[in-house]
Amino acid sequence: MTQVRKRLRCVVIFAAATMTLAVARPAAAGTMSDLRSTIVLSELLVPDLRVEIVPALDRTALVLSFPLVVSVARVDRLSLTLDTFGEPQLQARDNVWRLLGGMRISYEGDDEPRPALFAEGGALTGQDGDGWFAGIGVAGAAARGLATSALVYRVVVADGVVRHDLSVDLVRLDLRATIR
């Protein structure tokens, strides 16, 4: 039963963050007209391909990830976006499943196509341990809602084992629908 509780931890974090920010959004929108929420469905059919390096185990593996990103707030005057996401992953070498849940803050600039910088962090649980992750990245220049590319680096710590994760995401499909 302990294993089940640990695995549900990321799901709870993702759901709680999404609901909290969704509830807070209407009150904030009344005072800040430049705050809005969008739903971003990203790569549900085309997974990210990640290279995972585990120095302590002298091992490298490929990881497929299927992120679901919900963009919960955008402050236009600062060009900042706050996203929450859940990300099932499959580490192909050992056939190990994981679930990540976290938050991402992005600086996207205005509506002109330009690279977006972002930082992210959160919790993870899976067949190979529980822990946390933190990452940084840059998304390629493209108009909002169109295909982009991204380069992401993460440090992942699960049960005391440090992993380095690099993703060169060549096709990032973002379908955005504004919530009013």
Of the pLDDT bands very low, low, confident and very high (cuts 50, 70, 90), residue 31 is very low
What does the domain layout of the chain look like in residue ranges? 2-179
For the segment 53-91, what is each residue's pLDDT rounded down to a tens digit?
A: 999 999 999 999 988 878 788 887 788 888 888 999 999
d(CA 73, CA 62): 32
Confidence of residue 16 (pLDDT cuts 50, 70, 90): very low
* Measured CA distances, 10 to 72, 124, 131, 152 (Å): 18, 6, 10, 20
Provide the pLDDT for residue 149: 77
- Which residue, chain included where needed, has tokens 């049960």? 159
The one-letter amino acid code at 151 reads L
Q: Specify the CATH class of 2-179 in words.
A: mainly beta
**Which pLDDT score is estimated for 68?**
81
pTM: 0.72
Instruction: Name the average pLDDT for the chain.
Output: 75
Q: Considering only residues 20 and 108, tell me which one the structure prediction assigns the higher pLDDT.
A: 108
> In this predicted model, which residue has the larger pLDDT, 124 or 69?
124
